[in-house]
Amino acid sequence: MSTKETDNGVRVAVDVGGTFTDVFVLDADGHTHVAKTPSTPDPMDGVLKGVAAAGVDWKDVTLFSHGTTIATNALITRKFPRAAMVITEGFRDVIEIRRGNRDDLWDTYKEIAPPYIGRRDRLVVKERINYAGDVLTPVDEVQARAVANVIRKRGIKTVAVCFANSYANPDNENRMRDILLEELPDLRVTTSSEVHPEIFEHERFSTTVANAVLSPIIAPYTEGLARELADRGYAGDVLLLHSGGGVMTAKMAEKFAARLAASGIAAGAIASREIASRCGFENSIGFDMGGTSTDVSLADRGELRITTEWYVEYGYPICFPSIEVLTIGAGGGSIAWIDDAGSLRNGPQSAGANPGPACYGSGSGLATNCDANLVLGRIGTQLVGGAMTLDVAAAEAAVVAIGGPLGLNAEDAALAIIQVANANMADAVRLISIRRGYDPRDFALVSFGGAGPLHGVALAKELAIPTVIVPPHPGVTSALGCLLVDVQHDITKMYLKSANEAEPAVVEEAFQELEASGRERLEHEGVTPEQMSFQRFIDMRYQGQWRAMSVRVGSSIVSMDEAIKEFHAEHGREHNYSREDAPVEIYRLSLRAIGTTPKPEMGRRAVIEGSTAEPFEYRNARYDELPDRVSTPVFNRDDLPPGFEIDGPVIIDQLDSTTVVPPGCRARVDEWMNIQITIEEV
């Protein structure tokens, strides 16, 4: 991996979101600097402006890591080049038939979005491979060249090749790819056997199509960014965060473009796990609440949960391994409203930045969580270091308009709005914890995002979580996550076999083949052998089941007994039952190939017990725990030294967020400058 010596250099991470571009900088002395700038239509321009705002010279940068929403936005808006699909004859409509399921089971009129590639551009070729990988019918080369001619006439520049059973033998797909490149040398060709070599056609085809339509977007962006940074003096690789929680170089991102479709949300999950680990918590829940949405993730024993089937648009799965993050429409700008039954609701609609909450003074009259917090005195009238002044009267009027039909005054209505929002977010935490067999009481809650520290303690109380951790820079924590990851590739191989009948030597040989492939990919990215490591997983299920569970195994397979035992235990934890007398089947072998990158050593401060600080003001604020407003000290976070402790109620302001410590809680600043809040009532 091409990087300069990193011990004495500057490390930069940039997370480009839909509204803001966040920059996190770690200098050679371990000091951190952050910057937050508005995102631009051209993401590259946003990256450059953000780093410039942080005062960084690219010549001093030794490592640059980047999370981006460019792939996600392309799929949401469907702004990608026209693509074609070459398919086995008889399989033309697999991606349109899908699985026949629905996003909303009870709404028969809700239509599924059309496939990313229309039927006219799904072109068929005679070929056939059976389930065992035997070639029954080679590719009809005359027909294949005719298909290439159609693609040429239509001016299509990217193609997905998806043949039946190619996971068992890629020969026919590879031959089709070679014919296309012979006829059209500049064509981008994505084959399903390379992207996702697994059995189910719809999932394999869907993942390959997503990769094909994104490749022409990702490639110019990554190439242009790498070129621009090199011209400015950066001598290392551009590392891009992917869905699985690792990074890959620009060259590999062009090849596996769909892995970037969940780049942004993965960064926050990674950062929350690392922050909790440094505070001594191996079990943690990440709670990232921004302006329009909340992302919830979970780390168990230091490992983030991984899912192998996710989507940007329902019905079109992307099956690259991805950190499991549950996203709901709850944020600082979420709108409070009354439904037809006269009940108070909150979100998922958001006021956004324009027109924004009522307190922005735009005359929107939209009562949001931001307005409710302002009415309750939990946030002040000055935000972003005084760059924005909030209109209290406008917020009260909007909140009263919601509370009136319910017989509530402004203060009680504001409380109700916040309580409904907190209930929605608590349900999201329950889905990713209790529903998966985890007890929230065994976890710490890492609360970040611009609005997260306002609501974190309330959620923890609702769920009996004993500790809340607020990072030093909550609003740019996702950018920090981009600095904490390694180069990573996830490679799979189908292996359908009864676990009791599987020969350990054969399984070991299959893993060694996967490791050889992983080593080749890492070498392609410049990773040295000393930086390489490999993690093995076996996906297993009870015979007759549809879904499989992933079980981590050791570096050498000498027996299947331990893997089977671990599968029973994991199945019992997640599904609340296990059948140790039932036969277990191996479904898939998976390998995680890792190239270690230098990790930042965050500045650790000496803790001075008994440290003191003075509030810069007192504010009358209302809390759920008390019937009346109380005078609450408000501190500037920059004034709080390590070791500082205080009992709630207290409010802590900073440039990118506000932390609320209600009554019954105690806040402490640790050596990493996190605020650790202990909920004494739990």
Among 286, 308, 288, smallest CA distance to 297 is for: 286
- DSSP notation for 146-185: HHHHHHHHTT--EEEEE-TTTTT--HHHHHHHHHHHHH-T
**Residue 361 scores a pLDDT above 70:** yes
Residue 211 near residue 258, CB atoms below 8 Å: yes
Residue 308 near residue 426, CB atoms below 8 Å: no
pLDDT by residue (tens digit) across 578-602?
999 999 999 999 999 999 887 766 6
pLDDT by residue (tens digit) across 639-651?
999 999 999 999 9
Q: Which fold has domain 487-595?
A: Dna Ligase; domain 1 (3.30.1490)
Percent of the chain surpassing pLDDT 70: 97
pLDDT by residue (tens digit) across 125-184?
999 999 999 999 999 999 999 999 999 999 999 999 999 999 999 999 999 999 999 999
pLDDT band at 481 (very low <50, low <70, confident <90, very high): confident
Q: Cis (ω within 30 of 0) for the bond into 405?
A: no
Residue 353: what pLDDT? 67
CATH class of 75-218: alpha beta
Residues 573-582, mean pLDDT to the nearest whole number: 89
**Residue 449 scores a pLDDT above 70:** yes
**Residue 386 scores a pLDDT above 80:** no
Residue 94 near residue 209, CB atoms below 8 Å: no
- Residue 66, amino acid: H
The two three-digit tokens of residue 191, written as one number: 């084959």
Residue 441: what pLDDT? 95
pLDDT band at 339 (very low <50, low <70, confident <90, very high): very high
The two three-digit tokens of residue 418, written as one number: 């916040």
Mean pLDDT across the chain:
91
Residue 6: what pLDDT? 45
Report d(CA 430, CA 289) in Å as an integer.
16
Residue 278: what pLDDT? 92
Strands 122-125 vs 83-88: parallel, antiparallel or unpaired: parallel
Least confident among 120-124, 278-282, 476-480: 476-480
Among 232, 221, 314, 205, smallest CA distance to 263 is for: 221
Q: 30: Cβ–Cβ under 8 A, 6 or more apart, which residues?
A: 600, 601, 602, 603, 604
pLDDT band at 362 (very low <50, low <70, confident <90, very high): confident
Report d(CA 345, CA 632) in Å as an integer.
29
Q: Tell me how many helices (H) and strands (E) the chain has.
A: 16, 35
Residue 19: what pLDDT? 67
pLDDT by residue (tens digit) across 258-292?
999 888 778 889 999 999 999 999 999 999 998 88
Tell me if residue 650 falls in helix, strand or coil.
strand
**Residue 118 scores a pLDDT above 90:** yes
Residue 681: what pLDDT? 62
Among 574, 332, 567, smallest CA distance to 455 is for: 332
pLDDT by residue (tens digit) across 388-407?
789 999 999 999 999 999 99
Q: Is the dihedral of CA 311, 312, 315, 318 positive or negative?
A: negative
The sheet carrying 122-125 orders its strands as 122-125, 83-88, 158-162, 188-191
Report d(CA 471, CA 675) in Å as an integer.
7
Report how far apart the first and last C-alpha atoms of the chain are (Å, whole number): 48
Residue 166: what pLDDT? 95
**Residue 115 scores a pLDDT above 50:** yes
Q: What does the domain layout of the chain look like in residue ranges? A: 10-65+229-263, 75-218, 487-595
Phi, psi dihedral angles at 270 (to 5 degrees): -65, -45
pLDDT by residue (tens digit) across 60-111?
998 899 988 888 888 988 999 999 999 999 999 999 999 878 888 788 788 8
**E strand or H helix at 441:** none
CATH number listed for the domain at residues 10-65+229-263: 3.30.420.40
43 or 680: which carries more pLDDT confidence?
43
